[in-house]
Amino acid sequence: MNTGQWLGLVTGVLFGFLLQKGRVLRFDKQVGAMLLKDMTIFKFMLSSILVGMVGILLLSNFEIVTLSHKPMNVGAVLLGGALFGVGWAVMGFCPGTSLGALGEGRWHAVFAIMGMVAGAALYAELYPVLKSTVLAWKDFGKIGLPEAMGISQWVIVPFFWVGIIALFFWFEKKRV
Amino acid sequence: MKWKTADGGWNPYLAGALLGLLAIVSVFATTQLLGKTSYLGASTTFVRAAGILERTIAPDRVATNEYYTETKVRVDWQFMLVIGIVLGAFISSTADKSFKLEGVPPTWEERFGPSVGKRAVGAFVGGIIAMVGARLADGCPSGHGLSGMMQLSVSSFVALVMFFGVGALVARIVYGRRVS
């Protein structure tokens, strides 16, 4: 294995460990979040975003790392996001957590993984058609919120933090 | 607020914050060691896995397919990351005894009964739809939900709203018919 593969493996083990400790891998947690009955996944995801955001934006500010926005292709993000939502609700896993769920013994994740591999192969077949249709509608390119809104990221980040922390207090008050 | 949850897990705010730290260390490490910043993600690996499998039966089809060519079918950093997730979850769950063999999850069973076959069909079909969506949107809850949000990407905000919005709607339709 090369350096990249080793680094990926070590990072993945830590990623899987934290996902499992956070108890976000289970079908019931994922569907529970979608039914707004169990906020564990929101707490976990939003906490990681708050912390990761500050570090990554600082590193990019000092040009130590480069940001890599995914394109704001309107048709792709809207239709793709909606399709993902449909599949996610039925499958009860997302791509990353399906593997983690398998690791903690939830073996029905195997069917989800097989479905997703089949879905990827299907997408590769559909790609030429999608490229000239959905993907060709409107693409705003790889943009970040600061450029789109015309304000500094260091103005956006504090607002984000305050909003999310307020949400956390509400979760705890409601005991969800 | 407690450090541990009732089922022996870690406080989700703490585990999430630690994942945030891991994401920071990971972008730094990939930039330093591999020369290119890589962000946590998972769904592209499914394309590579599909390409590797398909190559064994139809090598020409994979070689000439535009999407496989753009994605570069190989076992890369993210591929090993995804494999690592299985290992990490296994280590964590066996260490705190939360490892459990499960063929049908409770919420599913309440609605559709204990049939493994039904659950298999649901997971498989759901998987196909979700992956087509993830590739079209160019990311999943890891790539968009975590990495994209951390970078304040416009597309990730929209994608996440769609993921959860449509997911919530469909979950209500699929699992909502309950007595309680």
B114-131 pLDDT, tens digit each: 999 999 999 999 999 999
- Give the distance from residue A10's alpha carbon to the nearest chain B alpha carbon, in angstroms: 7
Q: A with B: how many residue pairs have Cβ under 8 Å apart?
A: 527
Torsions phi, psi of A102, nearest 5? -60, -40
Model confidence pLDDT, tens digit, residues B33-47: 999 999 999 999 999
Residue B132 has pLDDT above 80, yes or no: yes
Average pLDDT over residues B124-147: 96
Closest CA to B155 of B138, B169, B130: B138
Question: In 3-state terms, what secondary structure has residue A152?
Answer: coil
CB–CB of B34/B27 below 8 Å? no
With beta carbons less than 8 A apart as the criterion, state whether A96 and B141 touch: yes
Whether residue B80 and residue A64 make contact (CB cut-off 8 A), yes or no, is no
Residue A101 has pLDDT above 70, yes or no: yes
What is the pLDDT of chain A when averaged over all its residues?
96
d(CA B24, nearest CA chain A) in Å: 6
Average the pLDDT over A129-158 and give the result: 95
Residue B23: strand, helix, or coil: helix
Cross-chain Cβ contact B12/A40 below 8 Å = yes
C-beta atoms surrounding B98 within 10 Å:
19
Q: Return the percentage of chain B with pLDDT > 70, whole number.
A: 98
Asked whether the beta carbons of residue A47 and residue B12 sit closer than 8 angstroms, the reply is: yes
Both tokens of residue B94?
């066996």
Burial of A99: CB neighbours in 10 Å, binned 0-12, 13-18, 19+: buried
Query: Strand, helix or coil at A160?
Result: helix
Helix axis angle, A40-61 to B12-34, nearest 10°: 30
Q: Does B102 touch chain A (CB under 8 A)?
A: yes
Residue of B nearest to A116 (CA): B127
In this complex, do B123 and A146 lie within 8 Å of one another by their Cβ atoms? Answer: no
**DSSP-assigned states of every residue in A112-168:** HHHHHHHHHHHHHHHHHHHHHTGGGS-B--S-BHHHHHTS-HHHHHHHHHHHHHHHH
Q: What is the pLDDT of residue B176?
A: 83
The mean pLDDT of A34-40, rounded to a whole number, is: 95
Record: contact A120-B131, CB cut-off 8 A: yes
Cα of A6 to nearest chain B Cα, Å = 7
Of B34, B102, B123, the CB nearest to A4: B34
d(CA B2, CA B11): 7
Which two three-digit tokens encode residue B89?
A: 């979850």
Q: In the predicted model, is pLDDT for residue B95 greater than 90?
A: yes
Residue A50 clears pLDDT 50, i.e. is over it? yes
Q: pTM for this structure?
A: 0.95
